[in-house]
Amino acid sequence: MISKGFIKSSIIYSLVGSLPLASGFILLPLFAVHLGSGLYGQLALYTAFTMLIQIIINLSLDYGLQITYFENKSEKLNLNQRIGTLVSGMLIIGIIFVIILAITGQFLFQKIFPNSGLQFYPFGFFSLITAFFNGFSKSYNNLLISQQKPIRFLWINLLNFCLTVVLTIILLLKFPDTLIGPITARAIAAGIVFCFSLYLIVRQYHLSFEWLFLKTTIIICIPVLVNYLLNWSLGYSDRFIITGYLSVRETGIFDFALKTTFVIDILLTGIYNTFTPKLLNHLITNNKRSSDQYYNSYFNSLTGFTLLLIPFTVLIIHILIPLFHVKPDYLLSLKYVGLISISYIFKVLVLMFNTPLYAFKKTYMLPKIYGIAAIIQIVLSIILIKYFGLIGAIISMILIKPIQVLLTVWQTKKFFSFSYSANKMIIMPMIYFVIFVGIEISTFKYNHMVLYWIELAISGFLVLFFFRNEIKILAADTASKFRLTKRE
């Protein structure tokens, strides 16, 4: 059985792990007031650049740290030597990479981003060192998860979150209509957390260097690195394609609309991570090679919640954003929010079909899934953005979601079979999808608040209809408990 402490730790790790997304979401209204859409588009590209460099510069040695810890935790001398080697390796590789890009960065930016207005100095360089700092801090975070130190994990990430938000607000108010605030604040916050993380890990393990072990670990981590790069492509490549075919202004409009829906992703991922330990324990302990009622119940409930969450979030976004007196382009971006949010309807299916891959250590299948999905998305994005503009970017993003579901099923069914409620997991979401896509497309030029209330009402009706039996049982149980309490 999984202990309460383990479940509590899992909740901390999942919720705190979403703080970087949360900070970006919280700062959106401030960006919309103090940055034009063109500058915000540049910020989106610098952020995507930071994420890419963070992946490359780290060489997935964060994964190597976790493996090394579990393999050597009973032998303190070996553990100290090997953790110290990986830490030294990350520092050396990172510093070399920073020096190389510091020399070649301006040339590369001029060639890769000729018409975007992006310059390597100063903001590209700040993004580069932010990537180095964050890559190291992320590695230490993963080590803390392996060591089961949720409280330290909490405080380090809260420090990063608070510094990023507070410094961004201060600098953006002092330097409006520039990127000094958001980019410099992230660099300073990342640097402070890096120093803190470096001090703690060196104090515990010390620095050492063993070339053969470092080389072997890097080779082991290459498949994970490929997987990270493919995930980056799925999440960020469309910004660069939009910039190439359209403009950095439209990149800003698209990115703003997308980030307003991040609260959906944060909540769904957080809820999933809270019950994942139970599901993994259920599958592994019982050696389950097929889904059952216990397994399906979690995803049925999460699907119902998602159907209510999506229209509710869209409604709240349309209510709140105009209250901040944002620049006109950001109000224009709101018409894309509904369509973007619809893509989250497929997230629960991806999570349901993905879970056995982690339970039975079949993660080597993930690069094949994400690789094919990334290629398809890039091709779709290039074609659709070229001919249909921003709406093409959103269509490609929506289309890739069911494709990703099918690719995951294709791999997972090789060792796991699924038996689930087609009504709740397929028919209900598809009815929702067809109705809401129809509404969003037919009313695309309009922005009447009543439409979002209607969408929420339709979602409520669908959930009530498809979960009517469960609701009756829940109501009967609640009434029974109430009568017993009243008698007592």
Q: Tell me which residue of 306, 270, 262, 239 sits closest to 28, measured CA to CA.
A: 262
pLDDT digits (tens, 9 = 90+) for 68-98: 888 888 888 888 999 999 999 999 999 999 9
* 25 and 139 share one domain: yes
3-state DSSP call for residue 444?
Answer: coil
Range of the domain at 315: 261-472
pTM: 0.88
Indicate whether 176 and 113 sit together in one domain: yes
Mean pLDDT of 422-438: 92
Q: Judge whether residue 154 has pLDDT over 60.
A: yes
Tokens 């349309």 appear where? 318
Is 234 among the domain residues?
Answer: no
Indicate if 303 and 380 belong to the same structural domain.
yes
Q: Is the domain of 182 the same as that of 266?
A: no
Alpha-carbon gap, residue 202 to 431, rounded angstroms? 55
Q: How many residues does the chain have?
A: 488
Using the 3D structure, point to which of 176, 199, 223 is the last residue of a domain: 223
Q: Per mean pLDDT, which range of 179-183, 211-215, 375-379, 444-448 is the poorest?
A: 444-448
CA atoms within 13 A on the CB side of 241: 25
Same domain? For 299 and 201 the reply is no
Select from 198, 223, 248 the last residue of a domain. Answer: 223
* 168 shares its domain with 26: yes
360-368 own/partner pairs: CB under 8 Å, 24+ apart: 360/283, 360/284, 360/415, 360/416, 362/411, 362/412, 362/415, 363/227, 364/223, 365/411, 365/412, 365/414, 366/227, 367/223, 367/226, 367/227, 367/230, 368/407, 368/411
Residue 238 lies in a domain: no
Say yes or no to pLDDT of 1 above 50: no
Confidence of residue 486 (pLDDT cuts 50, 70, 90): low
Residues 269 and 206 in one domain: no
What tokens does 62 get? 């964060």
Indicate the angle between helix axes 390-412 and 328-342, nearest 10 degrees.
30
Across 442-471, average pLDDT: 85
Mark whether 217 and 267 lie in a shared domain.
no
Q: Kindly state the DSSP code that residue 83 receives in the 8-state scheme.
A: H
pLDDT score of 2: 45
Of 194-208, 228-242, 443-457, the one with minimum mean pLDDT is: 443-457
- Is residue 235 in some structural domain? no
User: Is residue 243 in some structural domain?
Assistant: no
Are residues 167 and 273 located together in one domain of the fold?
no
On whether residue 450 sits in a domain, the answer given is: yes
Say how many domains are in the chain.
2
Position 76 scores a pLDDT of 86
What pLDDT, on the 0 to 100 scale, is given for residue 431? 93
Same domain, 219 and 280: no
In a domain, 164, yes or no: yes
Query: 219 and 269, same structural domain?
Result: no
Which residue, 223, 242, 274, sits at the end of a domain? 223
Residue at 459 is within a domain? yes
- What is the pLDDT, as a whole number, of residue 24? 84
User: Are the beta carbons of 393 and 381 closer than 8 angstroms?
Assistant: yes
Computed on alpha carbons and rounded to an integer, the radius of gyration of the chain in Å comes to: 24
Query: Does 218 share its domain with 277?
Result: no
Buried b (16+ CB within 10 A) or exposed e, 176-214: eebbbbbbbbbbbbbbbbbebbbeebeeebeeeebeebb
Q: What is the DSSP letter of 323?
A: G
Looking at the domain assignment, is residue 240 inside a domain? no
In terms of C-beta density within 10 A (0-12 exposed, 13-18 middle, 19 or more buried), how is residue 127 classed?
buried
Beta-bridge mates of residue 417: 290
